[in-house]
Amino acid sequence: MKKRVQAHLEWRARQEQGDVPGWVMITLMSAGIVTALTAIASPRLSVMLDRALASVGG
Ranges of each domain in the chain: 1-57
pLDDT of 53 above 70: yes
In whole angstroms, how far apart are CA 57 and each of 35, 37, 50, 53? 31, 29, 10, 6
Percentage of the chain surpassing pLDDT 90?
Answer: 57
> What pTM was computed for the model?
0.51
pLDDT tens digits along 23-48: 899 999 999 999 999 999 999 999 99
